[in-house]
Amino acid sequence: AVLNDGLRSQVSAALKEGQITPTELCQRCLALIKSTKFLNAYITVAEESALKQAEESEERYRRGQPLGILDGVPIAVKDNFNTAGIETTCASNMLKGYISPYNATVVQKLLDQGAVLLGKTNLDEFAMGSGSTDGVFGPVRNPWSYSKQYKEKSVPKSHSEDEESNWVITGGSSGGSAAAVSSFTCFAALGSDTGGSTRNPAAHCGVVGLKPTYGLISRHGLIPLVNSMDVPGILTRCVDDAAILLGSLAGHDPKDSTTVQDDFKPFELPNLTDVSKLSIGIPKEYNAPGLSSEIVALWLKAADLFKNAGAKVVEVSLPHTRYSIVCYHVLCTAEVASNMARFDGLEYGHRSDKKDSTESMYAATRREGFNDVVRGRILSGNYFLLKQNYEKYFVKAQKVRRLIANDFVEVFRSGVDILLTPTTLSDAAPYTEFIQEDNRTRSAQDDVLTQAANMAGLPAISVPTALSEKGLPVGLQFIGRSFQEKQLLTVAKWFEKQVQFPMIQLEEVKRHDSGVFQHQKSASFS
């Protein structure tokens, strides 16, 4: 049952004991990637280099000198992290075919610890979106669309077009990474999280999505969306694995001046038995317009779970939350406008054939290279940064951002340890439904529950909680104090254990790993 298990207890142990070799493990994942190709989770599969890395890992195991828990573990990386020798596209025409000469710090750290890089995962172009539907390589399909659980619950219409019209989105923008982890093609994946881009797809795909504190993990090599909010995100199948990944990635990077200088000590998560000293805050503003009644019910149920176990559960208020969408819009687009200025067709990336003048070459390059969403954000961002608008929009948005961050400070100062909120407004929407609204509207709606944590730089994690009536995953979010990842993850782990989220039942996985379904878990929580 290797494909499905926790890293420390199972995978690493199995590798150590020789029950499976890194090469076998890598091959199984590669085969699974092929058989789940229709998910469109990967943009690039680095088969050759992955097998080579697996071979090297195998050699280390043979000598009895593995580099650690991650040695030989297949992982995937969102295609907005630079990977030397492997294409980095950001799902954009602008960077199609672009091969970076260097590794992002987080990628380098994973490789240094022996991880096997399977490939680069799909996303919304330049991570701008909440569906993983707006990339140049097409939308990512949620593996749960093909699960037994979903198929059983969704009312069959006509047989042939059924699956085609019914498949649901992964959420985004790290949808490829979430789908990759969810469909067992890798054991962990890197995403990025600017407004919820790791937690949102994690919730929709039934995996754990961790957004660490801003400044804890290096952004060097992550192609930026909003520098002041971007954080490398971690997607895994259980909270313990998220802690392992965090331990391998966190720490000061001289190449990123915004990482904190303090040493980070990797930790193992204790099994919490007593939650009676915990104070869980339920922010009332997160009962947002559009929140499905199903999710409200799950949220309350989770709160009761803590209460019944002896924790203190209090309603709290984060009064400025309601301004966060519009504030985020201004700050995000302004930084996007600035960050995208470098894509002018000169040094790298796409260059238009139009040669009438420099300016027309720039314009045509950017017109051809960026999709409407990116261009739209560049346009509005530049508008907000104009001299006559700067005070009115940008400075004001920064002030509001401070108020939003202060809300959290106040709540945590009042004695609350962890905040419990929904991650998404509802379960994943069918693609056909999702694309009825434009990217901007969608992003604004979908980020509402997640982006405040980015504004404040706080750590937050989405934990798969239950299946919805449609048989799709629903996640709940825990938000912790700055740099208190250990506490956050410990609570998340306790919660994870309580809810016993069911295993996805996928035909493709079954074929590759028959052991997975031997102990069927039931959706005990819903």
Strand 188-193 vs strand 208-211: parallel, antiparallel, or unpaired?
Answer: unpaired
Question: Based on the number of CB atoms within 10 Å of its own CB, is 342 exposed (0-12), middle (13-18) or buried (19 or more)?
Answer: exposed
Number of residues in the chain: 526
Q: Return the percent helix, strand and coil in the chain, to nearest 5.
A: 45, 15, 40
* Alpha helix stretches (DSSP H) within 234-357: 239-249, 293-308, 324-339
| Cβ proximity to other proteins, 170 vs 333, nearer residue | 333
CB nearer to other proteins: pick between 167 and 214: 214
Which span (22-30, 285-293, 298-306, 336-344) binds other proteins, by CB under 8 A?
336-344
The sign of the dihedral angle between the CA atoms of 129, 208, 404, 421 is positive
Contact by Cβ (8 Å): 416, 281: yes
Nearer of residues 362 and 501 to other proteins, judged by Cβ? 362
Residue 223, CA distances (Å) to 342, 373, 440, 511 in order: 12, 17, 21, 37
From 94-102, 242-250, 429-437, 476-484, give the range in contact with other proteins by CB under 8 A.
94-102
Contact between residue 210 and residue 234 where contact means Cβ atoms under 8 Å apart: yes
Residue 177: active-site member: no
* Shortest reach from residue 387's CB to other proteins, in Å: 5
Q: Rule CB under 8 A: is residue 334 a binding residue for other proteins? A: yes
Selecting among 12, 78, 120, 211, the annotated active-site residue is 78
Starting at the edge strand found earlier in the chain, the sheet holding 418-422 runs 42-45, 116-121, 74-78, 188-193, 231-236, 208-211, 460-467, 473-479, 418-422, 279-283, 312-316
- Which residue has 């996805």 as its token pair? 504
- Cα dihedral sign, 444-188-428-288: negative
* Residue 101 near other proteins by CB under 8 A: yes
Instruction: Report the alpha-carbon distance of residue 362 to residue 267 in Å, rounded.
Output: 49
Cα–Cα distance between 193 and 423 in angstroms, integer? 13
Which among 61-69, 242-250, 262-270, 333-341 is the span making contact with other proteins, rule CB under 8 A? Answer: 333-341
Least distance in Å: CB of 242 to other proteins?
Answer: 23
With CB under 8 A as the contact rule, the residue among 155, 359, 436, 522 that binds other proteins is 359
172 close to 125: Cβ distance less than 8 angstroms: no
By beta-carbon proximity to other proteins, the closer residue of 4 and 333 is: 333
* Contact yes or no for 242/496 (Cβ under 8 A): no
Q: How far apart are the first and last CA of the chain?
A: 25
Residue 161 or 263: the one with the smaller Cβ distance to other proteins is 263
The residue (of 360 and 514) whose beta carbon lies closer to other proteins is: 360
Catalytic residue among 92, 100, 173, 482: 173
Residue 456 in the binding site for other proteins (CB under 8 A): no
Query: Rounded CA gap, 381 and 393, in Å?
Result: 10
Binding mask 290-329 for other proteins (x = CB under 8 A): ----------------------------------------
What is the spatial distance between Cα 236 and Cα 218, in angstroms, rounded to a whole number? 19
- Binding status of residue 362 toward other proteins by CB under 8 A: yes
Binding-site member from 172, 221, 283, 473 for other proteins (CB under 8 A): 221
Q: How far is the CB of 257 from other proteins (least distance, A)?
A: 6
149 or 324, CB closer to other proteins? Answer: 324
Choose the catalytic residue: 183, 197, 468, 526: 197
The single residue among 157, 355, 413, 511 that binds other proteins, judged by CB under 8 A, is 355
Q: Which of 116, 136, 189, 337 binds other proteins (CB under 8 A)?
A: 337
User: Is 197 tagged catalytic?
Assistant: yes
Q: Between 256 and 437, whose beta carbon lies closer to other proteins?
A: 256
- The β-bridge relationship of strands 460-467 and 231-236 is unpaired
Cα-based torsion angle of the residue sequence 31, 247, 109, 509 in order, rounded to the nearest 10 degrees: 0
379 binds other proteins (CB under 8 A): no
Total interface residues for other proteins by CB under 8 A: 49
Q: How far is 167 from 141, CA to CA, in rounded Å?
A: 7
Q: Is 192 a catalytic residue?
A: no
Considering beta carbons, is residue 15 or 405 the nearer one to other proteins?
Answer: 405
Min dist. Cβ of residue 357 to other proteins (A)? 5
Query: Which structure tokens are listed for 238?
Result: 């259980």
Residues 393-412 interacting with other proteins (rule: CB under 8 A): 394
Q: How far is the CB of 293 from other proteins (least distance, A)?
A: 39
Q: Give the whole-angstrom CA distance, residue 92 versus residue 90.
A: 5
Stretch binding other proteins (CB under 8 A), from 155-163, 167-175, 255-263, 444-452? 255-263
Examine residue 214 and tell whether it contacts other proteins (CB under 8 A): no
Catalytic residues: 78, 173, 197
Question: Which residues of this chain interact with other proteins, rule CB under 8 A?
Answer: 81-82, 88, 90, 95, 100-102, 104, 219-224, 226-228, 254-258, 261, 334-335, 337-338, 340-344, 346-348, 355-359, 361-362, 382, 385-387, 390, 394
